[in-house]
Structure 1
Amino acid sequence: MSLSLFALTSDPSSRIVKFELSNPVQTELTDYIKNQEEIFDNVVDEFEFDGKYKPDEGEILYINNYDDIDGLALAIENPLGVEPVVSTEDFFLDIKALFTGYQKPNGSVKILLQNFDRRKVISTNGLSIFHANNVYKKIEGIGLTVDHKLTATLEEGKLKFYSFHSTRQMFDLSEYYKEATDADVVDFVNIDLMQTVNSDDFIPLADSWVRRKISLVQQSGILQNVPLHEMKAVATDFGIPFTTIDENGSEVICVPDNKSDLKKLLRFLDEDYYKSPLSKTHFVTSSKRAVGEQS
């Protein structure tokens, strides 16, 4: 069995495209991905995604009845009918995910997915080189790096993943997470890294948008896993308001007392910002417009 390699893009006119691979590359890719599949599937327990539970080692999340509206399975079943990738930098920036897969004897199709970001693009801007036979050679043309692990699998409507945050970079999963409740909102502002505030004053600021973002920030674990000094550095780089204060001898994030600044903080914590490694321009991912531009 040889696996083909496809890209899922944000371009509605070319939603799915196929990479034309040489036979040696396809053989190596097949072994590479099948090994990733074996590691990904090595789980003990599965838990239905509820927006709150974070899997431990050996555990995985799943969503049932996920609709393959983009037709990934059809591409795997009929790879010859898929248009080839257009090898331009602009097109590569539209890629949301790489995927491959195969049809099982029972007729079901198993889709293997990796989320894709711009750091994996090998650009023709500048000089890209690689090491071979004790010398460095120039990379001719645009390229990409295939990651070392799978983000998700999809089979018979069952979407399995370890990280909701990574998986929603590929698919619209908005209907599968719930807005934070009042108790969730209180838990959020009571995190050690956040400034102490009166929850009775904060809850009225939490409209539907704020509650969804709080739910996503809590699910991502960013406040538990990313050092405060790193958050400050990124916020400064993007020109995003991000104030910290000293509270009882500890540095904490200042919680805005108005909805506008609160939303800016939550959007930042939910990582809706990125920097294009090609243009070095800052963007808001929901609109792909440069930060500072008028919408």
Structure 2
Amino acid sequence: MALSLFALTSNPSSRIVKFDISAPVQVELTEYLKEQEQQFDEAQEEIEFDGKYKPESDEILCINGYDDIDGLEGAIRAPLGVEPVNPDEDFFLEIKALFTGYETESGTIKILLQNFDRRKIISTNGLSIFHANNVYKKIEGIGITVDHKLTATLEAGKLKFYSFHTTRQMFDLSEYYKVATDDDVFEFLQVDQIQSVDSHGFLDMADSWVRRKISLIQQSGILQNVPLHEMRAAAIDFNIPFETIDEGGSEVIGIPDNKSDLKKLLRFLDEDYYKSPLSKTNFVTNSKQLVTEQ
């Protein structure tokens, strides 16, 4: 069984496209992805996703009743009807995920997905070379690197994943996580990396948007995993309000006292900002709008 390779894009007119690959590459790709599937399925226990629980190494998160509104299953069942990928850098920037899949013995379609990082684009900008037969050769045309692990699987309406933060870069999962409660907000404000502020005063600024962002930031663990100096450097790059203060001998993130700057900070911490590695242009991911002075 040879697997086909598809891309899920943000382009509404070409939501799903197919890579036309040679037979030898398809065979190797199939073996490569099936090995990843085996590793992905090693989790011993499935945990229903609630937006808060972080799985252990032998656990995996799942969402039951996920609606395949993009039609990934249809592409697997009828690959010949899917239009080919447009080999253009602008189009490649619209790719959100790579996926493949097959029909199981029970008749369901199992879909294997990889989040697509723009750094995986092999660009025609500049000169790209690869090593073969003891020499480096020029790469002709645009290309991609297929990652070494799966991000998620989807079968019979069950979406399984280890990282919600990564999976939601492929799918809109906003309906599946809960906004932060007052207790969640208080917990967020007690994180070591956050300035101590009046909790009840902060609640006055905590509308539903703020609470959703807090829930996502807590889920991602970015405050615990990314050093403050790296956050500061990125914030400077994007002109995002990001103040740190000394509190009891420790550097912490200052909390803005107005809702506008607070939302900019939370959006930044939720990593809605990125820099295109090809154009070196700053965007906000939910709109692809150019970032200007804040």
Shorter-chain TM range is over 0.9
Aligned to 1:274: 274
Aligned to 2:265: 265
Aligned to 2:217: 217
Aligned to 2:83: 83
Which has the higher mean CA deviation after the structures are superposed, 127-136 or 59-68?
A: 127-136
Aligned to 1:256: 256
Pairwise CA distance, 1:293? 7.6
Aligned to 1:194: 194
Q: Secondary structure at the match of 1:96?
A: strand
Structure 1 alignment gaps of length 5 or more: none
Question: Deviation digits for residues 92-145 of structure 1, max 9, x if unmatched?
Answer: 011000000100122100000001121111110111111111111111000001
Question: Deviation digits for residues 167-196 of structure 1, max 9, x if unmatched?
Answer: 000111010011100000000011000011
In structure 1, C-alpha distance between the alignment counterparts of 2:36 and 2:213, rounded to whole Å: 31
Aligned to 1:129: 129
In structure 2, C-alpha distance between the alignment counterparts of 1:5 and 1:83, rounded to whole Å: 12
Letter in 2 for 1:216: L
1:140 pairs with 2:107: no
Question: Deviation digits for residues 265-287 of structure 1, max 9, x if unmatched?
Answer: 00000000010111100001111
In structure 2, C-alpha distance between the alignment counterparts of 1:167 and 1:95, rounded to whole Å: 14
Which has the higher mean CA deviation after the structures are superposed, 226-235 or 51-60?
A: 226-235
1:33 pairs with 2:33: yes
In structure 2, C-alpha distance between the alignment counterparts of 1:293 and 1:172, rounded to whole Å: 28
1:119 pairs with 2:124: no
Q: How does 1:24-63 map to 2 (within 5 A)?
A: 24-63=24-63
Aligned to 2:100: 100
Q: Secondary structure at the match of 2:131?
A: strand
Q: Secondary structure at the match of 1:197?
A: coil
In structure 2, C-alpha distance between the alignment counterparts of 1:107 and 1:43, rounded to whole Å: 23
Letter in 1 for 2:117: D
Question: Deviation digits for residues 32-74 of structure 1, max 9, x if unmatched?
Answer: 0000000000011110000000001111000000011111111
In structure 2, C-alpha distance between the alignment counterparts of 1:21 and 1:41, rounded to whole Å: 26
In structure 2, C-alpha distance between the alignment counterparts of 1:291 and 1:260, rounded to whole Å: 16
Structure 2 alignment gaps of length 5 or more: none
In structure 1, C-alpha distance between the alignment counterparts of 2:233 and 2:55, rounded to whole Å: 29
Q: Secondary structure at the match of 2:197?
A: coil
In structure 1, C-alpha distance between the alignment counterparts of 2:293 and 2:115, rounded to whole Å: 28
Q: Secondary structure at the match of 1:205?
A: coil
Which has the higher mean CA deviation after the structures are superposed, 151-160 or 231-240?
A: 231-240
Pairwise CA distance, 1:78? 1.0
Change (3 A) 1:103 1:293: farther
Q: Secondary structure at the match of 1:46?
A: strand
Which has the higher mean CA deviation after the structures are superposed, 224-233 or 188-197?
A: 224-233
Q: Secondary structure at the match of 1:28?
A: helix
TM-score when scaled to structure 1? 0.98
Aligned to 2:285: 285
1:155 pairs with 2:155: yes
In structure 2, C-alpha distance between the alignment counterparts of 1:103 and 1:143, rounded to whole Å: 28
Q: Is the 8 A contact 2:9 2:95 kept in 1?
A: yes
Taking every aligned residue pair, what percent have the same amino acid on both sides?
Answer: 77
* Number of residue pairs the alignment of both structures matches: 294
Aligned to 2:245: 245
Q: Which runs of 4+ in 1 moved over 6 A?
A: none
In structure 2, C-alpha distance between the alignment counterparts of 1:72 and 1:286, rounded to whole Å: 22
Change (3 A) 1:191 1:293: closer
In structure 1, C-alpha distance between the alignment counterparts of 2:282 and 2:162, rounded to whole Å: 28
In structure 2, C-alpha distance between the alignment counterparts of 1:249 and 1:110, rounded to whole Å: 52
Aligned to 2:166: 166
